[in-house]
């Protein structure tokens, strides 16, 4: 079995979005998530000598990121009183009225409790498939579908014409559907 190697110079292009989506799904704050991704890359560099090549590069980085997420929660929890139990009772002015935070957050129309969890996994599955596409295809797909940039702007930025763009989007979508087919369709 060939040993995996680290290529830190390609980390940002190859894994930043995947790690970012993972982090956002865990901390629900894109600024914090961004910092965690950056810290993960630094930590990866610092411990590169410990990398044995058993795991794929991305798996290894995700493992570091998981530690970073745990550290993040430890940090914010240590700021609170240690014995304090946080009851998030939101008063709406009237003394006897109010909502528990959970009740406010919960979506009564949600089809099931697993919805958000499933969506997190779905996001990572799409990112995973996206990373297997040719670079230009995944770039065009990302700009169009995820960032919602207009066809005209994408064409200007990448110096392609609209029919090129649609061919690339079409190929990307077909490949993504094929990649996701087993689990999600």
Partner 1 sequence: MKISCDKAAEICTKSQYQEASWWQVLKLKIHIFYCKNCAKFSAQNTKFTSLCESADLKTLDSSDKESMKKALEEQL
Binding residues for partner 1, rule: CB under 8 A, are 8-9, 11-13, 16-17, 20-21, 24, 30, 34, 37-38, 41-42, 45, 119, 122-123, 126-127, 142, 144-147, 151, 166, 169-170, 173, 176-177, 180, 184-185
CB of 3 to partner 1, least distance (A): 21
CB 81 within 8 A of CB 31: no
Crossing angle of helices 11-27/30-46, nearest 10°?
Answer: 130
CB of 74 to partner 1, least distance (A): 24
Question: CB-wise, 86 or 111, nearer to partner 1?
Answer: 111
Residue 78 is encoded by which pair of tokens? 């240590």
CB 82 within 8 A of CB 40: no
Question: CB-wise, 50 or 96, nearer to partner 1?
Answer: 50
Question: CB-wise, 77 or 119, nearer to partner 1?
Answer: 119
Question: CB-wise, 42 or 100, nearer to partner 1?
Answer: 42
Cα 158 from Cα 10, distance rounded (Å): 21
CB 63 within 8 A of CB 55: yes
Question: CB-wise, 90 or 106, nearer to partner 1?
Answer: 106
CB of 141 to partner 1, least distance (A): 9
Residue 72 is encoded by which pair of tokens? 């993040």
Question: CB-wise, 64 or 126, nearer to partner 1?
Answer: 126
CB of 125 to partner 1, least distance (A): 8
Contact partners, residue 127, CB within 8 Å, separation at least 6: 17, 18, 21
Q: Rounded to 5 degrees, what are φ and ψ at 107?
A: -100, 105
CB of 105 to partner 1, least distance (A): 16
Cα 11 from Cα 139, distance rounded (Å): 16
Residue 181 is encoded by which pair of tokens? 């087919």
CB of 159 to partner 1, least distance (A): 16
């Amino acid at each position: 079995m060939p040993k995996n190697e680290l290529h830190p110079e390609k980390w940002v292009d190859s894994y930043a979005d995947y790690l970012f989506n993972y982090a956002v799904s865990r901390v629900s704050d894109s600024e914090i998530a961004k910092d965690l991704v950056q810290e993960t890359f630094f930590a990866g560099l610092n411990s590169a000598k410990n990398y044995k090549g058993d795991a794929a590069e991305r798996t290894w980085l995700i493992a570091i990121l998981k530690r970073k997420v745990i550290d993040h929660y430890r940090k914010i929890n240590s700021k609170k009183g240690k014995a304090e139990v946080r009851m998030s009772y939101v008063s709406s002015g009237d003394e006897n009225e109010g909502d528990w935070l959970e009740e406010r957050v919960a979506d009564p129309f949600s089809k099931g409790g697993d919805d958000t969890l499933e969506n997190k996994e779905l996001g990572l599955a799409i990112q995973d498939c996206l990373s297997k596409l040719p670079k230009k295809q995944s770039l065009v797909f990302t700009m169009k579908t995820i960032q919602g940039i207009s066809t005209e702007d994408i064409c200007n930025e990448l110096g392609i014409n609209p029919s090129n763009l649609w061919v690339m989007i079409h190929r990307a979508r077909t490949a993504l559907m094929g990649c996701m087919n087993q689990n999600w369709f």
